[in-house]
């Protein structure tokens, strides 16, 4: 589920919840629903709408019933991802999602390096003052 700021965009005390508190709250909310619907293996709630500079340090909230990840993404975005599995038997059942969330910030740089494009994501950004933009859709 892509959260566009509606889940925790509430007045205090929700606005300043820690990642661990949000992870626990979503696990408490969605856990019983997952137990009732055994055909669903779990859910991932994610939000990358926030812009923030400087980017925050990576944060993990590995809770008993869910996992939360906060990652700064290239340029100025911050992704918060909470993985709520149905009651799992083995940790390997969610390890792929965990690895994807953990390495997301570096994945674009890795892909560009594999394609032979040096300079990471910053190599794709040009100085907007160097050329004029004629598209009415361009917003600096």
Which pLDDT tens digit goes with each residue over 71-84? 998 888 888 999 99
**Does residue 100 register a pLDDT over 60?**
yes
What domain range is 60 assigned to? 14-124
The confidence score (pLDDT) of residue 61 equals 94
Q: Is residue 110 part of a domain?
A: yes
What's the confidence (pLDDT) of residue 58? 92
Q: What sign does the CA torsion over 45, 15, 52, 129 have?
A: positive
Q: Which residue did the predictor score with more confidence, 70 or 118?
A: 70
- pTM score, whole prediction: 0.70
Q: How many domains does the chain have?
A: 1
In a domain, 137, yes or no: no
In a domain, 130, yes or no: no
Helical residues (DSSP H) of 13-140, grouped into ranges: 19-36, 95-114
- Classify residue 95: in a domain, yes or no: yes
Quick check: is 133 in a domain? no
With respect to residue 115, please indicate whether it lies within any of the assigned structural domains: yes
Q: Six-digit token pair at 112?
A: 């560009």
CA distances from 119 to 109, 113, 122 (A): 8, 8, 6
Q: Which two tokens stand for residue 56?
A: 């925050």
Within a domain: 104? yes
135 belongs to a structural domain = no
């Amino acid at each position: 589920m892509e959260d566009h700021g509606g889940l925790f965009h509430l007045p205090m005390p929700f606005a300043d919840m820690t990642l661990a508190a949000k992870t626990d709250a979503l696990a408490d909310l969605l856990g019983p629903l997952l137990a009732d619907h055994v055909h669903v293996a779990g859910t991932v709630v994610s939000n990358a709408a926030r812009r923030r500079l400087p980017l925050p340090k990576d944060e993990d909230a590995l809770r008993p019933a869910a996992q939360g990840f906060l990652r700064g993404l290239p340029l100025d975005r911050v992704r918060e991802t909470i993985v709520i599995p149905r009651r799992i038997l083995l940790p390997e059942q969610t390890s792929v999602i965990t690895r994807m969330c953990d390495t997301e910030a570096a994945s674009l740089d890795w892909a560009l390096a594999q394609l032979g494009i040096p300079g990471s994501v910053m190599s794709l950004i040009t100085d907007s003052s160097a050329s004029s933009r004629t598209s009415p859709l361009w917003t600096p």
